[in-house]
Chains A and B, each alone.
Chain A
Amino acid sequence: MTKTIVVTSGKGGVGKTTTSASIATGLAKRGFKTVVIDFDVGLRNLDLIMGCERRVVYDLVNLVNQEATLHQTLIKDKRIENLYILPASQTRDKDALTIEGIARVMHKLKKSEFDYIICDSPAGIEKGAKMALYFADEAIVTTNPEVSSVRDSDRILGILQSESKRSKMNEEPVKEHLLITRYNPSRVKDGQMLSVDDIVDLLAIPLLGIIPESPSVLDCSNAGKPVILDDDSEAGQAYSDAIDRLLGESKPHRFMEAPKKGFLSRLFG
Chain B
Amino acid sequence: MGFFRFFKTNKEDQSAKVAKDRLQVLIAHERTGRDGPDYLPMLKQDILDVIKKYVSVGDDALSVQLETQDDCDVLELNITLPEDNNTSTVTPTAEAKRRAMERRQAAAKVT
Contact = CB atoms under 8 A, between A and B. Distances in A.
B16 interface: yes
A266 B10 CA distance: 14
Interface in B1-58: 2-3, 6, 10, 13-17, 19-20, 22-24, 26-27, 30-31, 34-35
A192 interface: yes
A202 B16 contact: no
Contacts, number: 55
B2 A202 contact: no
A268 B17 CA distance: 26
B55 to A, nearest CB: 32
B8 to A, nearest CB: 11
Nearest to A268: B2
B34 A190 contact: no
A154 B27 contact: yes
A190 B13 contact: yes
A188 B16 contact: yes
A191 interface: yes
A267 interface: yes
Interface size range on B against A = 20 to 34
A188 B17 CA distance: 10
Interface in A131-170: 147, 150-151, 154-155, 158, 162
Given A191-B15, A194-B19, A195-B16, A267 B27 contact: no
Contact of B2 (A155, A191, A193, A266): A266
A198 interface: yes
Contacts of B26: 151
A268 B3 contact: yes
Contacts of A198: 16, 19-20
B16 A192 contact: yes
Interface of B: 2-3, 6, 10, 13-17, 19-20, 22-24, 26-27, 30-31, 34-35
Interface of A: 147, 150-151, 154-155, 158, 162, 188, 190-195, 198, 201-202, 266-269
Given A151-B30, A154-B31, A190-B13, 11 more contacts: A147-B23, A150-B23, A150-B27, A190-B14, A191-B13, A192-B15, A194-B19, A198-B16, A202-B23, A267-B3, A268-B2
